[in-house]
Amino acid sequence: MHTIPITVSLYAFLATTFLFSCSAYVAQAPLSDDKCTETTVAILGGGMAGIAAAQALSNASIDDFIILEYRDTLGGRVWHTDFGKDKQGKPYVIELGANWLQGLGSEAIENPVWALAKKYSLKNTYSNYSSIRTYNETGYTDYRYLLDEYAQAYHIAARDAGRILTQNLQDQTARTGLALAGWRPRKNDMAAQAVEWWSWDWEDAHTPETSSLVFGIAGENLTFNQFGKANHLVLDPRGYSTIIQNEALGFLPNPSGNRLRLNTRVTRIEYSPRGVTIHTTNDNNKNSNTCIRAAYAICTFSLGVLQNKAVTFDPPLPSWKQTAIEKFNMGTYTKIFMQFPETFWPTDTQFFLYASPTTRGYYPVFQSLSTENFLPESNILFATVVDEQAYRVERQSLTQTKDQILDVLREMFPDKHIPEPTAFTYPRWTNEPWVYGSYSNWPAGTTLEMHQNLRANTGRLWFAGEATSAAYFGFLHGAWYEGRDAGENVAALLQGRCVEDVSTASTASGKEEKEEACGERIFYEQLNGTTPLDAYSRLNGWPAVSYY
């Protein structure tokens, strides 16, 4: 049975002591000598998780909080920009980051992001993944039958992943699972490699070799089997982030007020049983160094920010937390937008899959926006690259990338004149100091307990975001759920309420009982392996001496 560690119980005791030792929602003495602004809760990050956390606090009648956001607007990785222009000279709006409403249509339970989309009339269009043509270096080549072959193997692998999870067997890579299910394309079968990229890498931003079979498939199932299979592409001229900004208006009626600080970079976080002090700066103003003192802080930084040590923690995060941060992967998903003088590709097709003759994942998919129900007659096409290919395009110039893409398009459409684009752009996610990547992924061999250490609080410092979601990592609704959960738990601690946050577990007697935590999240100071020391023997091919 997983019990709440002594450390967690101590924090819960200190939180209770805090409530009795001072008036409600008042922060404690500063952890440094700086003169700090005082607040009850500091929310670090104004993306989906941060706003969901603030909403949860507001719903609990806790309105003394401050949101700190690096950028000049709310939204985080839900990031849009103007691009190109229409026939009247007005720019289009494209989404550099999150772009889809994923998993909707279920009558049993509604995806919270879909609920927000309906609430604010977010313009979106169904993505039909069956609307696809396939190409290689010679032009149009129909290898769509490989999509069906992959789907059959994936179904078998998904069934095996469920068996591994429910029977507590050792995890394996997605590559192993797919191979055992009958799908293992040869390295020189570039059509099959392109199909595999379309079917796996495009969603996970990692290869099957670097992805967990169990949690990679579980993450897909928990979203699409629960909320519905449909994906809708957001095409709203206000930008996808309008749902986040409009939600914030519910508890931030004055966005320019003191409770929201934009253009604010967090440099250091000091935390103790007395509270949390956040040191910040504004890179546009060298004299803007400030600090905020809070009873609690909710950190919604991306996994990439934590891994790149963009913020100093004082004291350093405990070893179990640091290990968990480094255990998971941060992927990069880069969309490359281009507008042409004309639409030279079929307007009745949404997706175009390209199999490079030499390199897996080399500009493998193009998506048309110049299509009915999207942005017709916009002449806009966008390509997507992930992982190592995304890092490559980030390191090179726009001109280099543009020329490479034009070469690919000329191979795909040899009978067409491919002109120079009139507009061309893409983000460089891995280089952005406020995110350092796109979204997280679980490598093989990761356990639920290790992930719990990623999401667990360290005393009064809480963590939330898509990466802390075991069920919905990589999804925008994962960030929403985790932000809400952190906000509700912090509110419960401040108000002396208990939140049932731990699932039913079996005791040694075989009975089931609920573990209950007063807001605090459990963590595991030590995670043991699967092989006992006495198994390291000649019987298992191990030398008698390990030389450690």
Specify whether 17 is located in the same domain as 122. Answer: no
Cα 123 off chain centre by: 22
Q: Would you say residue 532 lies in a domain?
A: no
How far are the Cα atoms of 125, 274, 335, 381, 408 from residue 136, in angstroms, in the given order?
28, 62, 20, 18, 9
Task: Note down pLDDT in tens along the chain; length 548 residues.
Answer: 333 333 333 333 334 333 333 333 444 444 445 589 999 999 999 999 999 999 999 999 999 999 999 999 999 999 999 999 999 999 999 999 999 999 997 778 899 999 999 999 999 999 999 999 999 999 999 999 999 999 999 999 999 999 999 999 999 999 999 999 999 999 999 999 999 999 999 999 999 999 999 999 999 999 999 999 999 999 999 999 999 999 999 999 887 778 999 999 999 999 999 999 999 998 777 667 899 999 999 999 999 999 999 999 999 999 999 999 999 999 999 999 999 999 999 999 999 999 999 999 999 999 999 999 999 999 999 999 999 999 999 999 999 999 999 999 999 999 999 999 999 999 999 999 999 999 999 999 999 999 999 999 999 999 999 999 999 999 999 999 999 999 999 999 999 986 554 443 332 333 344 454 557 899 999 999 999 988 988 899 988 776 66
Give the contacts of 387 (CB within 8 A, at least 6 positions apart).
201, 205, 206, 207, 331, 332, 361
Contact 413, 345 (CB under 8 A): yes
Contacts of 429 (CB under 8 A, 6+ apart): 97, 332, 333, 334, 390, 394, 435, 436, 437, 438
Judge if 129 and 170 occupy the same domain.
yes
Regarding whether 233 and 133 lie in a shared domain, the answer is yes
In the chain, the number of structural domains is 2
Q: What is the pLDDT of residue 543?
A: 87
Cis peptide preceding 315, ω within 30 of 0 = yes
| Structural domain contains residue 523 | no
The residue segments making up the domain with residue 358 are 80-239+333-431
Full DSSP string of 492-519: HHHTT--B--S-EEE-TTS-EEE--BBS
The Cα–Cα gap between 397 and 315 comes to 40
Domain co-membership, 156 together with 254: no
**CATH number of 130's domain:** 3.90.660.10
Same domain, 95 and 119: yes
- Of the residues 431, 447, 472, the one at which a domain ends: 431
In a shared domain, residues 321 and 386: no
Q: Which residues of 339-365 are buried (b: 16+ CB within 10 A; e: fewer)?
A: bbeebbbeeeebbbbbbbeeebbbbbb
- Which pLDDT score, from 0 to 100, does residue 499 have? 56
> Which stretch of DSSP H or E encloses residue 384?
strand 380-386
CATH number at residue 17: 3.50.50.60
Q: Are the CB atoms for 310 and 299 separated by under 8 Å?
A: no
Q: Are 254 and 392 members of one domain? A: no
DSSP per-residue letters across 74-86: S-TT--EEEES--
**Residue 524 domain-assigned (yes or no):** no
Q: Which two tokens stand for residue 211?
A: 């992805």
Domain final residue pick, 431, 464, 483: 431
For residues 163 and 192, membership in a common domain is answered with yes
Residue 102 lies in a domain: yes
Domain membership of residue 397 (yes or no) is yes
In a domain, 341, yes or no: yes
For β-strands 351-354 and 504-506, DSSP reports them as unpaired
Residue 266, marked binder: yes
Same domain, 456 and 419: no
Same-domain status, 91 and 58: no
Same domain, 41 and 166: no
H or E, element range at 487: helix 476-494
Task: Determine the 3-state secondary structure of 437 from DSSP.
Answer: coil
451 in the same domain as 363: no
Residue 250 within a domain: yes
Say if 546 falls within a structural domain: no
d(CA 225, CA 217): 11
